[in-house]
Amino acid sequence: MATVETAETAVAEEGGVRRRDFINIAAVSFAGAGAVATVIPLVNQMNPSADVLALSSIEVDISAIESGQSIKTSWRKQPIFIRNLTEKEIAEANAVQTSELRDPQTLAERTTAGKENWLITLGVCTHLGCVPLGAAQGEIKGEYGGYFCPCHGSHYDTAARIRKGPAPKNLEVPEHEFLSDTVVKIG
Amino acid sequence: MSFPWAKEYTPTTEFGQWMDKQLPLPRFVYNSVGAGYPAPRNLNYMWNFGSLAGLFLVVQIVTGIILAMHYAANSGIAFDSVEHIMRDVNSGWMIRYAHANGASFFFIAIYLHIGRGLFYGSYKAPREMLWLLGVVIYLLAMATAFMGYVLPWGQMSFWGAKVITGLFEAIPLVGKPIQELLLGGFAPDNAALNRFFSLHYLLPFVIVGVVIMHIWALHIPGSNNPTGVDVKGPQDTVPFHPYYTAKDGWTIGLALIFFTALMFFLPNALGHADNYIPANPLSTPAHIVPEWYFWPWYAILRAFTFDFLFIPAKLLGVLAMFSAILVWFFLPWLDKSPVRSGKFRPKFKIFFGILVIDVLILGYCGGAPAEEPFVMISQLAAAYYFAHFLIILPLLSSLEKPEPLPNSITESVTGKPLKTAS
Amino acid sequence: MVRIIGILIGLFFSGWLLVSFGMGAKEYITNPPAETAEHEFHREAKDISFTSDGPLGKFDRQQLQRGFQVFKEVCSACHSLRHVAFRNLEEIGYNEDEVKAIAANWAIQTPDIDPATGEMSSRPPLPADKFPKPFANNVAAGAANNNAIPPDLSLITKAREGGAPYVYSLLTGYMDPPANLPDANQPGPGLHYNPYFANLNLAMAPPLAADDMVSYSDETKATIEQMAEDVSAFLIWTAEPKLEARHQTGWAVLAFLLIATILAYLSYRTIWADVKAEKKKKTADA
């Protein structure tokens, strides 16, 4: 890279290019371009490999999750919370004014139309990536009845929106679609 | 650096002067491969293989570090992790084939570089240390290449590891314990694979260290040249940059053409089919051979078929194989001929030609199955190999009458006696 | 001193090698090694070419699909393909839904753990899964096959001298043992004579025994030779799935390097022009 630059400045200084200088500059530029082109695959190899990308969607059977229950599963080596919200929890979530929220979103925006009781989120706190509590039975659900991250005290509500604590965003909702009433495809 | 007429490094910018005072790295580069290093003007293309060996060392280190990001040094999954690199990792196949074939090109460059040194007497005074360091680099490269070949954990990997560590078993009394120490077990397994991986990652950096010393030692007396005559003055030299950087530069392009042609179109031509079969401790391949660059030594190892008094043939073979390389350490003191370049040694020239053919024959026999007539041929060839270095060269230095040498490099280039030198 | 010791060591090594040569040669003359039956009857692989051969080679996807069909209907009963995943079939021209269907209907199930009980269980493979193995492990494979373990086929065309032509030759090379075959080399019970196999007799019964064992959907006549050729082509792909990318990248890299090297050579010539001119001039003067 540096050699290419020096070659260019040499051109600028002389104003004109003699044939022999031109050949030297061309040769050095080609070597530089070749080196840069070589770096591309050498860096690209660090991107997710084909087998990792192949696992990027999963299908989950949700028939066994009762209202008020939730399960943890894993997608792309990250925890996923699938929660079957109760009527009460849905009402609580809808009662909140979105203008008061740090990351304004309604429950409807975070769920599929007609399936508002199925809240599917990544189980990764948006603060520093810990797994919040509240998905498994008996775990603390935090002050707002949703999830609570014990690392730095972030409280999420029943729509998994950030309400209190250091986290900047709501728990992320991964792309998902319902293949049937009992099977959801995530990713 | 030892030439009084070498151009002094003079930084022109203020930053350059500041840098030169704090850390004279630009000065160092300038004096080692820049315009501040006067090199003989008559170097031929045989002098290009040092930089090419350096190029392929860099290729090996860069691709190797990348492969280590995906490889798993565990005997249970090592083979599969290599296939994972070949199939799933982005451009993984390219990087692995570059590494596998890069090793061969590193050895091609090294062998031509060594051959150059042998013919033009580059090992002679005042360059003995330069030569010794070169032999050390070669030994380290052999160890690194051997351990690297074990890592894919195919059949040849496993049986290569078993056979080579089996050589140490030939040592009287302590042989068996040494072999077990090297392997961390009774046969190659996870312990051996892990330590080989660790050392395979470490040794290239040791090689880089010795290469730096090798180049340092080169800059004390300066480069040898095809006449073997010492540089007498500025008219005998040209600045390394741009003359030899340009010459090295275009041959690097040429070498890369051969290298990429092989790695993209015949990537497995120098490998062995058996290494695509996962290691199986219960079944030996029909025909175990090391990689081609070890074949001459492998032929010497197998050439000893009869015990000598109380020394078993196996131990003799091992001793001979190591001696065949270690003899190079003594070469500057075995060949006492005051004339460096083989160009002016009519008899040496003939023997050198025989040696080249001899080593090629040894290589061929080393790669062939251990059957007749290859064993008999390799016995004759190995006999000449030892005779050449240990008998012919020492005697030749006293018996041979060299041809008259040119008075200077310039005279040899222009054919004109050096009288206008100032 | 070094030279004297050197000469002594040299005399020892070279001398003993010459003595060994003499003893070996005497043995060779008085008692020449007998020609083995393997040497005499073994045949080199047949001369057959594939579209993927050579630096311009490309896969014939239609042929790979036929080869996959042969693998699926014939080979996969005993041979695993453990480095290849169902999703890879998209590379030979199947679409996502077809791959899903192939995986879901595969005759062998993928071992898994029942999420409810934690017991070992099995399920139909998914596209992301590798091809499941027909036998749980080598012991099971040996027990079911007369102690001969069917090798994994994913790398077979790279793992055998002779490559795909060898695979083709082996599949089409079964024959009755020649009349002059020594008794020691006669196929024993459960073995089959095949001159392309290294030790002449192998445990695998002729897998492609008759024409039309599979029925191709593309109207190709499924002769034994055709099926052997197709499955060999398929196994080239399983061993080297990146072959086409390798050839294409190779040509691009070579073209670039050729131009760069010519430029570098011209640059070298211009830089050395004055030194060479000086040499010419001085030579002319002299």
pLDDT at A2: 39
| Of C257, A160, C37, A51, the residue nearest B254 (C-alpha) | C257
**CA atoms of A18 and A15, how far apart (whole Å):** 10
Average pLDDT in the B12-29 region? 94
Contacts of residue B238 in chain C, CB cutoff 8 Å? 275
Residues B95, A45: C-beta atoms closer than 8 Å: yes
**CA atoms of C276 and B81, how far apart (whole Å):** 54
CB of C120 within 8 Å of a chain A CB? The answer is no
* Per-chain mean pLDDT for chain B: 94
Chain A residue closest in CA terms to C272: A20
> Tell me: the pLDDT tens digits for B311-353?
999 999 999 999 999 999 999 999 999 999 999 999 999 999 9
* Per-chain mean pLDDT for chain C: 92
**CA atoms of B406 and B402, how far apart (whole Å):** 12
Q: At residue B150, does pLDDT exceed 80?
A: yes
> Tell me: the pLDDT tens digits for C273-286?
988 887 777 666 65
CB of C285 within 8 Å of a chain B CB? The answer is yes
Contacts of residue A51 in chain B, CB cutoff 8 Å? 84, 88
Residue-wise DSSP of B201-268 = HHHHHHHHHHHHHHHHHHHTT----TT-PPP-SGGGEEEIIIIIHHHHHHHHHHHHHHHHHHHHHSTT
Residues A45, B249: C-beta atoms closer than 8 Å: no
CB of C82 within 8 Å of a chain A CB? The answer is no
Q: pLDDT tier at A77 (50, 70, 90 boundaries)? A: confident
A84 and A144 in a single domain? The answer is yes
Q: At residue C99, does pLDDT exceed 50?
A: yes
Contacts of residue A26 in chain C, CB cutoff 8 Å? 263, 267
pLDDT at C282: 65
**CA atoms of B189 and B150, how far apart (whole Å):** 11
The rounded Cα A89 to chain-centroid distance in angstroms is 25
Cβ-contact B238, B39 below 8 angstroms? yes
Among A10-14, A182-186, C87-91, name the most confident range. Answer: C87-91
**What phi and psi values does residue B197 have, to the nearest 5 degrees?**
-65, -45
Shortest distance, CA B326 to any CA of chain A (angstroms): 38
- Nearest CB among A41, A51, A52 relative to B91 is that of A41
Q: pLDDT tier at B411 (50, 70, 90 boundaries)? A: confident
**CA atoms of C8 and B108, how far apart (whole Å):** 32
Residues B253, C265: C-beta atoms closer than 8 Å: yes
Neighbour count for residue A130 (Cβ, 10 Å):
15
The pTM assigned to this predicted structure is 0.91
A30 and A59 in a single domain? The answer is no
Average pLDDT in the C15-38 region? 88
The structure tokens listed for A114 are 């007609």
- Give the residue from B105, B263, B277, B395 with the most C CB atoms within 10 Å of its CB, the best one to mutate: B277
Q: pLDDT tier at B75 (50, 70, 90 boundaries)? A: very high
- Could you give the percent of chain B with pLDDT greater than 90? 87
Interface size between A and B, measured as CB pairs under 8 A: 35
Residues A24, C271: C-beta atoms closer than 8 Å: yes
Residues B249, C264: C-beta atoms closer than 8 Å: yes
Residues C21, B391: C-beta atoms closer than 8 Å: no
The interaxial angle of helices B49-68 and B245-265, nearest 10 deg, is 50
Of chain A residues 25-44, which have a CB less than 8 A from chain B? Answer: 27, 31, 41-42, 44
Q: pLDDT tier at A74 (50, 70, 90 boundaries)? A: confident
Question: Based on C-alpha coordinates, what's the Rg of chain C?
Answer: 29
Shortest distance, CA A35 to any CA of chain C (angstroms): 11
pLDDT at A14: 47
- Give the residue from C12, C16, C138, C156 with the most B CB atoms within 10 Å of its CB, the best one to mutate: C16
Sign of the Cα torsion A147, A153, A154, A158 reads: positive
* Overall domain count for chain A: 2
Class (C level, CATH) for C39-84+130-241 = mainly alpha
pLDDT at C31: 87
**CA atoms of B330 and B324, how far apart (whole Å):** 11
Contacts of residue C104 in chain A, CB cutoff 8 Å? none
A6 and A71 in a single domain? The answer is no
Determine which of A53-62, C197-206, C260-269 has the lowest per-residue pLDDT on average. Answer: A53-62
ipTM: 0.94
The structure tokens listed for A70 are 């939730």
Q: At residue C64, does pLDDT exceed 50?
A: yes
CB of A2 within 8 Å of a chain B CB? The answer is no
CB of C260 within 8 Å of a chain A CB? The answer is yes
Contacts of residue A49 in chain B, CB cutoff 8 Å? 70, 84, 88-90, 92
A38 and A100 in a single domain? The answer is no
A119 and A164 in a single domain? The answer is yes
Q: At residue B3, does pLDDT exceed 80?
A: no
Q: At residue A13, does pLDDT exceed 60?
A: no
A78 and A34 in a single domain? The answer is no
Q: A129: domain range?
A: 52-186
**CA atoms of C133 and C108, how far apart (whole Å):** 7
- Could you give the percent of chain B with pLDDT greater than 70? 98
**CA atoms of B80 and A18, how far apart (whole Å):** 56
The structural domains of chain B, ordered by start, are 37-288 (1.20.810.10), 291-399 (1.10.287)
Strand runs (DSSP E) across A19-108, as ranges? Answer: 58-61, 70-75, 78-84
- Burial class of residue B422, CB neighbours in 10 A (0-12, 13-18, 19+): exposed
> Tell me: the pLDDT tens digits for C204-249?
999 998 999 999 998 899 999 999 999 999 999 999 999 999 999 9
Contacts of residue A45 in chain B, CB cutoff 8 Å? 66, 69-70, 89-92, 95
A32 and A77 in a single domain? The answer is no
Residues A46, B69: C-beta atoms closer than 8 Å: yes
> Tell me: the pLDDT tens digits for C153-199?
999 999 999 999 999 999 999 999 998 888 888 888 889 999 999 88
Q: pLDDT tier at B261 (50, 70, 90 boundaries)? A: very high
Cβ-contact C201, C210 below 8 angstroms? no
Show which subunits contact A, needing at least 3 CB pairs below 8 angstroms.
Answer: B, C
Shortest distance, CA C252 to any CA of chain B (angstroms): 10
Average pLDDT in the B361-390 region? 94
pLDDT at B416: 65
Chain B residue closest in CA terms to A49: B89
A138 and A175 in a single domain? The answer is yes
Q: Which residues contact C33 (CB under 8 A, 6 or more apart)?
A: B371, B372
**CA atoms of B376 and C17, how far apart (whole Å):** 9
**CA atoms of B402 and B416, how far apart (whole Å):** 21
The structure tokens listed for B15 are 């930053």
State which amino acid sits at residue C76.
S
pLDDT, greater one: B171 or C89: C89
Neighbour count for residue C68 (Cβ, 10 Å):
25
A139 and A69 in a single domain? The answer is yes
Block residue for tokens 């001193």 = C1
Residues A45, B84: C-beta atoms closer than 8 Å: no
Chain A residues contacting C via beta carbons under 8 Å: 20, 23-24, 26-28, 30-31, 34, 37, 50-51, 54-55
Average pLDDT in the C135-160 region? 93
Residues C266, A23: C-beta atoms closer than 8 Å: yes
A161 and A106 in a single domain? The answer is yes
| Of C175, C198, C228, C183, the residue nearest C43 (C-alpha) | C198
Q: At residue A19, does pLDDT exceed 80?
A: no
- Nearest CB among B254, B260, B308 relative to C254 is that of B260
pLDDT, greater one: A59 or B264: B264
**A152 tagged catalytic:** yes
Shortest distance, CA C162 to any CA of chain B (angstroms): 9
Q: Which residues contact B40 (CB under 8 A, 6 or more apart)?
A: B222, B223, B224, B225, B231, B236, B237, B409
Q: What are the boundaries of each domain within chain C?
A: 39-84+130-241, 243-286
The interaxial angle of helices C243-285 and B92-119, nearest 10 deg, is 30
Of chain C residues 208-267, which have a CB less than 8 A from chain B? Answer: 239, 241-242, 245-247, 249-251, 253-254, 257-258, 260-261, 264-265, 267
Question: Based on C-alpha coordinates, what's the Rg of chain B?
Answer: 24
Torsion of the alpha carbons at B141, B146, B152 and B155, rounded to the nearest 10: 160
Block residue for tokens 């695998």 = C204
pLDDT at A61: 87
**B291 tagged catalytic:** yes
- Could you give the percent of chain C with pLDDT greater than 90? 76
**CA atoms of B277 and A89, how far apart (whole Å):** 59
Q: pLDDT tier at A68 (50, 70, 90 boundaries)? A: confident
pLDDT at B1: 44
Q: Three-class SS of residue C268?
A: helix
Strand runs (DSSP E) across A25-175, as ranges? Answer: 58-61, 70-75, 78-84, 118-122, 145-149, 154-157, 162-164
* Per-chain mean pLDDT for chain A: 86
- Nearest CB among B83, B243, B260 relative to C253 is that of B260
A160 and A118 in a single domain? The answer is yes
The interaxial angle of helices B295-303 and B374-387, nearest 10 deg, is 100
A158 and A71 in a single domain? The answer is yes
